[in-house]
Amino acid sequence: MLDGWMRRRIDPGLDAAGKRLAALGVTADAVTLAGLVAGLAAAAVIALGGAGWAALGLVGLSRVADGLDGAVARARGKSDFGGYLDIVCDFIFYAAIPMAFVLRDPAANGVAGAFLLASFYVNGATFLGYAVLAEKRGMQTRARGEKSLYFTAGLLEGTETIVFFALLCLLPHWFAPLAWGFGGLCVVTALARVGLAVRTFR
């Protein structure tokens, strides 16, 4: 819901940084993988019961890299594989953080974590399925910035998920109720996207 608003504010700074990195010979794929490493490091900190601020810093670093990779790609030239790698690494990151909280306290977080991951799975399926059909029909949008895939709007998008992960890092004992609430909203988002697909593709 907030991605379009956020992109308009952060893209100019990201594009400037991306051009500087590209001039130094840094590739977009390298930035994508660096972001994944930071995200998995955050998950490791969480799973091992580490400090919330340390995990939050690594999550933030991971998401900055996720924004920068696109800026570097725009400066150096985009590739289909780069877009593919970006979305795969994003999905790995989005799975790793909830899984880390389950590993941190399986008894308290297991069921809520399973529901949250299931809601991510369903939401991801509706997102990717829509993107495939949108590509088949030649549909385009830049409402969420310049992307390799067609990004549909939704109640919950990347910005809301990052805020949610930040809350989890700072309030780990609230994981279960926060996971149930956010997972429920993910299901609502998925159902809304299915409704959009019915109106668009039938």
Would you identify the CATH topology of the domain 3-201? Four Helix Bundle (Hemerythrin (Met), subunit A) (1.20.120)
Domain boundaries, the chain: 3-201
Residues listed for the chain: 202
The span from the CA of 126 to the CA of 188, in Å, is 11
105: left (phi over 0), alpha (psi -120 to 50) or beta: beta
Convert the pLDDT of each residue in 151-202 to its tens digit.
666 666 778 899 999 999 999 999 999 999 999 999 999 999 999 889 888 8
Share of the chain above pLDDT 90, in %: 60
